[in-house]
Structure 1
Amino acid sequence: MAIYLPELSAHDVSFPPLHRALSEPDGLLAMGGDLSVPRLLSAYRQGIFPWFSDGDPLLWWSPSTRAVFAPDSLTLSRTLKKQLRRYQLRFSVNRAFAQVISQCAAPRAKQPGTWILPAMQQAYLALHQHGHAHSIEVWQQDKLVGGLYGVQIGGLFCGESMFNRLPDTAKLALVALQTLLQQAAAGWIDCQMPNPFLLQLGVQPISRQQYLTLLTAQRGQRLPADFWQPRFFTLENEYD
C-alpha cells in the first residue's frame, strides 16, 4: 500500500499538525527537510523526533503512545548497588559526548545495523555544541562502560539512545540521569516509545495528548546556566 507523506521544505522548519500522523505505521508524520539545529529543536518542542534507516528518506515521527519515566521512578535496586560496588563505577555528565553517541551507534548482538547513522551523529554533535544535547557517562576507572544521550527541552530530557559494556550500566546511566535532573527540575525523562527493557525498568506508557500536555508544562522551565557543565558526580547514598 502506498504511503503519502508531506515533504518538508528546505527553507521552513515547521511541521504538519500532529493529528495528521499516520496510524500505520504509527506516528509517521512527514519526510524530508534536514537535521539542522533549528529544525531538530522545532521538532522536539512539538513532540516530534527523527528516525530512519540507512537508505530511507529522512522520516519524522510522533507516535500515538509515548514512554516516560516519572519523577522518582528510577532508583538503585539491590542488584544495581551490587554492580556499583563490584565494578567500582563512577558517573559524569558531558565529558565524552562524542564517545557515547559512537558507542550507541555501534552494532549490537542480533542488531547488526544502526539507525544512528553518520548524519544523525553529526546532527546531535551539533546540538551538543549548541548546548541542547547532553550525555551521561559511566566509567570503570578510565574506561567508558556505559552511557546515554538525549536532548534537553526545558525541564524534560528527551532520551535518544543508551549502551552498556558491563552488565546494567545502561540502567545505571538512567538512574544517574534522573538523580542529576532532580537537582534542578522534576526529573521527567522521555524515552520516545515503550519497549520490554524500558517497561521492566518502570517506564510509563502515555498517550500522545498526555505527552503533549507534559511537554507544554515542562518546555518553558529553565535549568541553571551551568547545569550541564562537564563534571563527575555521585549518586546520593549509592551504597546504603
Structure 2
Amino acid sequence: MPPQLPWLEPEDLLPDPSTAWGKTSPAPGLLAAGGALDVAHLHAAYAQGTFPWFGIGQPILWWAPDPRMVLKVADFRLHRSLRKTLQRFRASAACEIRIDSAFGQVIRACSSTPRDGQNGTWIVPEMVVAYEALHAHGTAHSVETWVDGKLAGGLYCVAIGGAIFGESMFSHATDASKIALAALVCMCLRNGIELIDCQQNTAHLASLGAREMPRAEFMQHVQKQTTQPPMAWHFEPVYWNALL
C-alpha cells in the first residue's frame, strides 16, 4: 500500500518536500493533493521547490521529485545545427526575442500544442488562469520567438529572486522553442544565474544539457537563490554573444 497522501484545504500550507512519495511508490515525487492555486500559494510552493501538475478531472496535485532535472546554463549544449539557426535568427531583421509581450498566447500555445507520446496536456484551464495571475504579479514570465511579426514559439517560467523554474515550451516553427530557451540561457549568463529548473527528466531536455540533481542539493540552491535580487527580464541582441 502506498503511504497516505496529505489532503490540503485551501488555506493549508504544503508539507515539507522531503516527505514526498519515494521511488518505490506508485507516483514518485507526489507530495500532496488539494489546496489552492492562488498567487500566494503558488509563490510559496515554488519557494520550497514544489510545483503543481495534474490533469482534467483530477484534484490539484503537488510534486517534489527526487532527483530533480535541472539545466546548468554553463552546460547548455549548443549543437551545430542550432548554432547555425541562431546565427541566421540573429542576422535577420524579421526575427526577434520578446519578453512578456504575449504571456497569455504562450501559455495557451503550450497547452494546445500536440506532443509526442502524450494524449493531452497538464496545462488545464485552471492552470492557465492561475499562471496568468502569477504573471500579472510579476512572478511568471514568457520568453518569445517572433518571426515576421508572428509568435513562432516560446516558453514560460516562474522566477523568484534568482531561482528560475522552467514550465513548458512550444514551437510552431522548427527550433522556435530551442531559440527561446537559448535566449533564456543568455539572459541567465548575463545576470549570473547558474541554473534553470526543468522539473522532470525527458530525453529532449537531456539532449540540451540538462541533468538530474538530488532533491536535497536542489533545495539548497532554491533556498539560496530565492533570496537573491531578481533577474532583469528583458533581452538585447548583444546577449547572443554569450553563446555565439
TM over 0.5: yes
Taking the TM superposition and a 5 Å limit, the aligned residue runs for 1:30-109 are 30-74=32-76, 76-86=78-88, 88=92, 89-109=95-115
SS in structure 1 opposite 2:142? strand
Q: Could you tell me which runs of 5 or more consecutive residues in structure 2 were left unpaired when the two chains were aligned.
A: none
Instruction: Give per-residue Cα distances to partners, 1:11-37, cap 9 Å, x unaligned.
Output: 23x111222211221110100011000
Match of 2:203 in 1: 196
Q: Offset of 1:124 from its aligned partner?
A: 0.3
TM-score relative to the length of structure 2: 0.89
The equivalent position to 1:165 in structure 2, one of 172, 175, 188, is 172
Mapping of residues 156-235 of structure 1, within 5 Å: 156-223=163-230, 227-228=232-233, 233-234=236-237, 235=239
Q: Aligned to 1:115, which of 103, 113, 122? A: 122
Can you list the C-alpha shifts for 1:109-136, whole angstroms capped at 9, x where unaligned?
Answer: 5434111011000100000000000010
> What residue identity is the alignment partner of 2:225?
Q
Q: Secondary structure at the match of 2:114?
A: coil
Q: Residues 73 and 239 from structure 1, CA distance in 2 versus in 1: closer, same or farther, beyond 3 angstroms?
A: closer
Give unmatched runs, 5+ long, in structure 1: none
How large is the RMSD of aligned CA atoms in angstroms?
A: 2.0
Q: TM-score, normalized by length of structure 1?
A: 0.90
Q: What is the identity, as a one-letter code, of the residue corresponding to 2:7?
A: E
* Contact map agreement 2:78 2:208 (CA 8 A) in 1: no
Q: Which runs of 4+ in 1 moved over 4 A?
A: none
Q: Report the counterpart of residue 17 of structure 1 in structure 2.
A: 16
